[in-house]
């Protein structure tokens, strides 16, 4: 689990299948987002590139999940400003089933064996650190 500060009613799960397509060897990724124990978003599909490791495939899935949950949090935050009766999603736990991906996402220092993971994926680290430093996110 990447972040679980306080009680949250918006919960995200991400996963990937490494080299799942036998023709292209592309991985699949998916994300599920629950609000108040009800599924409000899900997506599953082939990734746009070939991952070189399960960790990289999980990073793509995690990136997709974080992107979607950030959009939903922005919408809920805007709606809450307009009408206080609307649920405001502040803390959002994101679950990932790959320990290596989780450790890299939380780690601040670069790890030599993961240089093949694109720099763009390090955006996840920025999001995790920002959430830890600002409890109001």
Task: Show the domain range for 55.
Answer: 10-133
Q: Which of 43, 105, 106 is nearest to 69 (CA)?
A: 43
Domain at 37, CATH number: 3.30.420
Q: Tens digit of pLDDT for each residue in 52-88?
A: 888 889 988 998 898 898 888 888 777 777 766 666 6
Domain assignment present for residue 5? The answer is: no
- pLDDT: is 106 or 123 the higher one? 106
- pLDDT at residue 32, rounded to an integer: 95
Kind and range of the H or E element at 70?
A: helix 54-82
The pLDDT of residue 17 is 92
Q: Is residue 4 part of a domain?
A: no
What is the structure's pLDDT at 77?
75
Can you tell me the distance from the alpha carbon of 11 to that of 20, in angstroms, rounded to the nearest whole number?
26
Q: Give residue-wise pLDDT tens across range 3-19.
A: 333 445 788 999 999 99
Q: What pTM, to 2 d.p., does this model score?
A: 0.71
Is 1 part of any domain? no
Q: Judge whether residue 51 has pLDDT over 60.
A: yes
């Amino acid at each position: 689990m990447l972040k679980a500060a306080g009680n949250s009613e918006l919960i995200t799960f991400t996963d990937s299948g490494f080299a799942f397509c036998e023709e292209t060897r592309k991985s699949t990724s998916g994300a599920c987002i629950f609000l108040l124990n009800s599924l409000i978003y899900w997506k599953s599909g082939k990734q746009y590139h070939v991952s070189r490791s399960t960790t990289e495939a999980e990073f793509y899935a995690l990136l997709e999940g974080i992107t979607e949950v950030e959009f939903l949090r922005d919408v809920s935050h805007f709606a809450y400003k307009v009408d206080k009766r609307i649920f405001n999603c502040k803390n959002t736990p994101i679950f990932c089933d790959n320990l290596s991906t989780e450790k890299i996402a939380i780690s601040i220092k670069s790890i030599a064996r993961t240089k093949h993971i694109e720099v763009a994926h390090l955006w996840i680290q920025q999001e995790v650190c920002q959430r830890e430093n600002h409890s109001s996110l």
